[in-house]
Structure 1
Amino acid sequence: MPPRDSYSYAAPPSAQLHEVDTPQEHDKKELVIGDRAYDVTNFVKRHPGGKIIAYQVGTDATDAYKQFHVRSAKADKMLKSLPSRPVHKGYSPRRADLIADFQEFTKQLEAEGMFEPSLPHVAYRLAEVIAMHVAGAALIWHGYTFAGIAMLGVVQGRCGWLMHEGGHYSLTGNIAFDRAIQVACYGLGCGMSGAWWRNQHNKHHATPQKLQHDVDLDTLPLVAFHERIAAKVKSPAMKAWLSMQAKLFAPVTTLLVALGWQLYLHPRHMLRTKHYDELAMLGIRYGLVGYLAANYGAGYVLACYLLYVQLGAMYIFCNFAVSHTHLPVVEPNEHATWVEYAANHTTNCSPSWWCDWWMSYLNYQIEHHLYPSMPQFRHPKIAPRVKQLFEKHGLHYDVRGYFEAMADTFANLDNVAHAPEKKMQ
């Protein structure tokens, strides 16, 4: 079954309330987890994960809750402390048969140990980024400047892959250790904030490709991945920029995003939220840059640094873009089930030894969105069974060749850029 151009979900969150409840007070905020409706009215503002919980109000949040809190006993304690009541006897969530099969499949994977971490795998991943940094520095030291910068650019991206898994707590299985790995990899390796990333990225996982919810769609003024986003642009200068976005995205836009994050957005977040451990990582990173500039010339070191950041940004951002950006969006007043979000708004890239390494198993993006807390190296093992589950329930399992997916991504950038012109013809 081929992918569709659009999807429609019959019950928006406000309507789903009436599936689970008797009429509620206007300001009351409830969501369903398991067989109980939880009142989160007074909890939304103090939810440790931020306002992401508000995205689930009025819906059956069972799968979202379980997959976001696989390793958090604290979350279960907080949940038990919230006011709750049984759902009414006639309650049945949307796609109840699909949800039941998914939850049974999840229990099978848990019994098989698929959520268990592998410390040898973590050691390999850490050793890899250390070795690549040493190799890059050695190449530059021996006069192979561009080769060394290329190596360091790639490992900057691989620090991004590694911190991503740390931020999902799927490395060691210990939340504190995984956060520490994320802080070190993202701070030293990329000059960025793990705390900022966790806050933003989990919103994406909760509602991928949903307008006004998924932060990965909130990309103006630098890029627009959908016509609805591009339509917001009124400035002639911004329209001119977007008209060239397919050509600018890899060499220019990714660099501007990385520099904006490194030099403004992430340091500001570290200061505002008092993440002094992350600020310490930046101090070490930029202390080294300053030392090199003092000894080898500021202009030379700045040029090398910009090239290094550009290569790393192209690597990580282009590979992230293939997973969702060319796919249909969800309307703000609609809500898909957890499995539908993964099936209809996510793309896999064909598995191979080189693609699995190049994308650090995030070419299995469907599996990652179903199970964000599962160690990513286990995704190849479960992928055939995920496909069978989708086929049973009439869902499209979208897998494309790596270069096909990349071509689709850049074609979408071009189509979005010129959509207003085509409508006028």
Structure 2
Amino acid sequence: MGGVGEPGEGPAPPGAPLPTFRWEQIRQHNLPGDKWLVIERRVYDISRWAQRHPGGSRLIGHHGAEDATDAFRAFHQDLNFVRKFLQPLLIGELAPEEPSQDGPQDAQLVEDFRALRQAAEDMELFEAKPAFFALLLGHILAMEAQCWCLQHDLGHTSVFRKSQWNHVAQQFVMGQLKGFSAHWWNFRHFQHHAKPNIFHKDPDVTVAPVFLLGESSVEYGKKKRRYLPYHRQHLYFFLIGPPLLTLVNFEVENLAYMLVCMQWTDLLWAASFYSRFFLCYAPFYGLPGALLLFVAVRVLESHWFVWITQMNHIPKEIGHEKHRDWASSQLAATCNVEPSLFIDWFSGHLNFQIEHHLFPTMPRHNYRRVAPLVKALCAKHGLNYEVKPFLTALVDIIGSLKKSGDVWLEAYLHQ
């Protein structure tokens, strides 16, 4: 075992004893252009490589100066393959006396969650059933409004044995059937999974100054910021939230991403969607009628998307980075909705949001099977495994927006 390493050392020479680091040293390396992280007690300098990370520099950078072991296992299906890319970045390991996780984390919970994941792997719950997704694709071709479900799974789950075919399939569903970029979707959605409900790391909740959620309500109130009547945000949510997310926000953000990041293949896929759409409908309805139909479809799917995805998150804790372990951070930001055949179908199994967040690469058809194991883990460690009725979950979105607006108004008037 080597001595205590000095910050700034390069990769350890092959065969040489690895330097050891303490958490107080590692914590210093969480700056733009200077990022370290810990995986399986080994310390990696990802400062330069982060820009080449297939999942994007933000996704891996959000775990800077942290133990990223569980996130590493959650997002990568072929760990041995990915470790080959990590090897040149290795600069040392944690000192023997250092805990595996920094800060006041429950080491027993971390150990038990990893045992749960191993049990799920032994039960082959991460193995996708191609027949399930083939039937789903047929369903979606008949009901294109459900395309979000399939492209969402293709971004997370290896439906095909070859990852390149999985990516091509996602590009087809996202681009040809929806008109969006697969790379853009993965860029923002994987950040959401890495750090759910964390400001400036989860794009889904970094929505100020349009809406104030969680801790941002107090901050805006204390600073006397009033760009909108936030104490009425639960009302104007109905005007600019569900109707316009995919029609306006996603369209603009998606196009900007493809142009700035030069994702020309995705741009061609998206262009094929718009060409097909207007060539199919303009002869029947004319260009104005086809545009009206496009807007109607986008508004309809936007309502579905917002209500189904946000009923599991907006009513939960939303704030700044807490540096929790993987299981605790996911459970604090998610809840489930009571399952039924209809709700499972209507939500695309996203009513099992807890299981989906704990195991983002697990195929959706296995959420029911792993749920009892997750419940047992939560019961053992006193963690809240929250399950709501469907209508309650929808109403809680509005209640949470109103509560945050009231908190803002109180701080704005009296701080």
The TM-score with structure 2 as length reference comes to 0.84
SS of residue paired to 1:29? strand
Note the alpha carbon deviations across 1:85-108, whole angstroms, 9 max, x for none.
232112222311111111111111
Greater shift after overlay, 19-28 or 242-251?
19-28
Give me the whole-angstrom Cα distance separating, in 1, the residues matched to 2:217 and 2:362. 32
- State whether structure 2 residue 245 is matched by structure 1 residue 257: yes
Counterpart of 1:71 in structure 2 is: 78
1:7-46 superposed matches below 5 A: 20-21=22-23, 23=25, 26=28, 29-46=35-52
Note the alpha carbon deviations across 1:352-410, whole angstroms, 9 max, x for none.
11111111111111111110001011001110110001111111111111111111111
Counterpart of 1:136 in structure 2 is: none
Structure 1 unaligned regions, length at least 5: 1-17, 133-154
RMSD of Structure 2 on Structure 1 (CA): 2.5
SS of residue paired to 1:216? coil
Give me the whole-angstrom Cα distance separating, in 2, the residues matched to 1:46 and 1:106. 28
Counterpart of 1:371 in structure 2 is: 359
Give me the whole-angstrom Cα distance separating, in 2, the residues matched to 1:277 and 1:342. 33
Counterpart of 1:386 in structure 2 is: 374
Deviation at 1:330, TM superposition (A): 4.0
Note the alpha carbon deviations across 1:76-123, whole angstroms, 9 max, x for none.
211122123232112222311111111111111111111111010010
Counterpart of 2:88 in structure 1 is: 81
Counterpart of 2:233 in structure 1 is: 245
Counterpart of 1:143 in structure 2 is: none
- State whether structure 2 residue 161 is matched by structure 1 residue 177: no
Amino acid aligned to 2:118: K
Note the alpha carbon deviations across 1:316-338, whole angstroms, 9 max, x for none.
11111111111112433x31110
SS of residue paired to 1:32? strand
- State whether structure 2 residue 136 is matched by structure 1 residue 125: yes
Note the alpha carbon deviations across 1:29-48, whole angstroms, 9 max, x for none.
32221131222233233322
Change in CA separation of 1:310 and 1:231 when aligned onto 2, cut-off 3 Å: farther
Amino acid aligned to 1:99: V
Contact 1:208 1:214 in 2 (8 A): yes
SS of residue paired to 1:44? helix
Note the alpha carbon deviations across 1:113-144, whole angstroms, 9 max, x for none.
11111010010110101122xxxxxxxxxxxx
Give me the whole-angstrom Cα distance separating, in 2, the residues matched to 1:300 and 1:374. 41
Counterpart of 2:315 in structure 1 is: 326
Give me the whole-angstrom Cα distance separating, in 1, the residues matched to 2:217 and 2:408. 12
Counterpart of 1:146 in structure 2 is: none
Contact 1:67 1:371 in 2 (8 A): yes
Amino acid aligned to 2:111: A
Give me the whole-angstrom Cα distance separating, in 1, the residues matched to 2:243 and 2:62. 31
1:106-145 superposed matches below 5 A: 106-132=117-143
SS of residue paired to 1:217? coil
Contact 2:214 2:404 in 1 (8 A): yes
Aligned residues: 382
Counterpart of 2:7 in structure 1 is: none
Give me the whole-angstrom Cα distance separating, in 2, the residues matched to 1:262 and 1:328. 25
Change in CA separation of 1:220 and 1:228 when aligned onto 2, cut-off 3 Å: closer
Greater shift after overlay, 379-388 or 225-234?
225-234
Which structure carries more helix by proportion? 1
Contact 2:73 2:79 in 1 (8 A): no
Amino acid aligned to 2:52: R
- State whether structure 2 residue 67 is matched by structure 1 residue 60: yes
Change in CA separation of 1:40 and 1:276 when aligned onto 2, cut-off 3 Å: closer
Amino acid aligned to 1:84: I
Give me the whole-angstrom Cα distance separating, in 1, the residues matched to 2:288 and 2:54. 44
SS of residue paired to 2:244? helix
Contact 2:170 2:182 in 1 (8 A): yes
Counterpart of 1:305 in structure 2 is: 294
Amino acid aligned to 1:95: D
Note the alpha carbon deviations across 1:279-320, whole angstroms, 9 max, x for none.
222222222343323542223222222111111110011111
Amino acid aligned to 1:413: L
Counterpart of 1:148 in structure 2 is: none
Change in CA separation of 1:125 and 1:239 when aligned onto 2, cut-off 3 Å: same
Counterpart of 2:385 in structure 1 is: 397
SS of residue paired to 2:204? helix
Amino acid aligned to 2:320: E
Deviation at 1:183, TM superposition (A): 1.6
Counterpart of 1:99 in structure 2 is: 110
Percentage of matched positions with identical amino acids: 27
Give me the whole-angstrom Cα distance separating, in 1, the residues matched to 2:233 and 2:269. 33
SS of residue paired to 1:218? coil
SS of residue paired to 1:260? helix
Give me the whole-angstrom Cα distance separating, in 2, the residues matched to 1:343 and 1:266. 29
Counterpart of 2:3 in structure 1 is: none
Contact 1:251 1:314 in 2 (8 A): no
1:219-230 superposed matches below 5 A: 219-226=207-214, 228=216
